[in-house]
Amino acid sequence: MGKAIGVMAAHQIAVGVVENGAPAGPMFLYPESESAAHVLEGMPAENLAECLSHQIKGARQGAEIEAVGVGLPGIIHEGVVEESPNLPQFKGFKLQEALASALETAQLRARVCIFNDADAIAAGLAATQSGLDQLIRIWLLGHGIGYGRYPWTDGVWEGGHTVVTLDANERFCGCGGRGHLEGVMGQRAMRMRFLDMEPDEVFAGAKAGNRRCAEFVQLFHRALAAATATSIAMEGPGKFFITGPGSKFVDLGRLGIYLHEMVKLSPLQGSQLEVIGTDFETGIIGAAVNATRAAGKG
């Protein structure tokens, strides 16, 4: 693989040059403080695309770049952001086209590719942990729930909206749908469910014997097991990484028991579950790896 630029964009923009699946220079953040995230949220789509291109050009630092990969939350199809809950101004925006045009003006003629942020993190974990020759899947547990897959392939892959319960009262998902994984495990959904408690307090309450909290913790793990079992039924067994702020709540022993109850066909058994920390660098590496592979360079 040659040099590529990886970008992660959500509350902040993180950019870096990547070579052979590893950082090849410093990482740049904009805005530098997470507390200033409202700066991005308030930008019109065209201005935000211009800001992205400016950060990419700055991170280049004169290097010859073969590809640029951008990871951001939402449904991405052929370079168009069809939906992005974190950056709603991008809905329907042709981001790939806009970035490619802006970068070409700056004499950076590289293949530009846009990916869901969880797919970028999955590729970053493949490059740094698992190996680029294996299928891996990730659950990104945060404000919402992301599902990522490596090797990348075109698709919707909104695993956070997998239906994990038929209870009509399970309507806490931000999309408005009922029974979704995100409506159980997303931190926004947990706060809506427990209006008087933060997620940390809910899990602490379960350990202290609070029945309501304990019942939710069981639902939390059964929901993740159900969504994982659905993925296994569709694509077979393999490695699943669990990451993001909400991953600290996951009890792998309990999750494994529930998953074993749900997956009984012998060809589908044998998946591995691992909780792992990730950061901007993981996503930057993955976005660059995916873009390089899409450009046919690696």
Least confident of 24-28, 39-43, 93-97, 171-175: 39-43
pLDDT tens digits for range 203-218: 999 999 999 999 999 9
- The CA-CA-CA angle for residues 152, 292, 160, to 5°, reads 25
Listed as own residue / partner, the contacts of 88-94 with beta carbons closer than 8 Å and 24 or more positions apart are 89/43, 89/44, 89/45, 89/48, 90/45, 90/48, 93/45, 93/49
Please compute the mean of the pLDDT values over residues 121-132 and round it to a whole number: 93
Please compute the mean of the pLDDT values over residues 226-245 and round it to a whole number: 97
Domains and CATH numbers, the chain: 3-122+279-294 (3.30.420.40), 132-275 (3.30.420.40)
Q: What share of the chain is helix, strand, coil (3-state, %, to 5)?
A: 45, 20, 35
Structure tokens at 276: 């792992």
Structure tokens at 212: 């309501």
When pLDDT is cut at 50, 70 and 90, the band that residue 2 belongs to is confident
Phi and psi at residue 232, to the nearest 5°:
-65, -40
Give me the pLDDT at residue 112, please.
Answer: 97
To the nearest whole percent, how much of the chain has pLDDT over 90? 87
Give me the pLDDT at residue 247, please.
Answer: 98
Task: State the amino acid at position 77 in one-letter form.
Answer: H
DSSP E strand stretches across 31-133: 67-72, 75-77, 80-83, 111-116
pLDDT > 60? residue 298: no
pLDDT tens digits for range 33-79: 877 767 888 899 999 999 999 999 999 988 899 999 999 999 999 99
Give me the pLDDT at residue 32, please.
Answer: 87
Task: State the amino acid at position 283 in one-letter form.
Answer: G
pLDDT > 70? residue 1: no
Residue 244 falls in which region: left (phi positive, over 0), alpha (psi -120 to 50) or beta: left
Q: Which residue has the higher pLDDT, 178 or 154?
A: 178
pLDDT tens digits for range 150-159: 999 888 889 9
Give me the pLDDT at residue 85, please.
Answer: 83
To the nearest whole percent, how much of the chain has pLDDT over 70? 98
Cβ neighbors of 162 (< 8 A, separation 6 or more) are 147, 180, 181, 226, 227, 230
Give me the pLDDT at residue 269, please.
Answer: 96
Give me the pLDDT at residue 296, please.
Answer: 81
Buried b (16+ CB within 10 A) or exposed e, 137-157: bbbbbbbbbbbbbbbbeeeeb
How much is the CA Rg of the chain, to the nearest whole Å?
19
pTM: 0.94
Structure tokens at 53: 């291109």
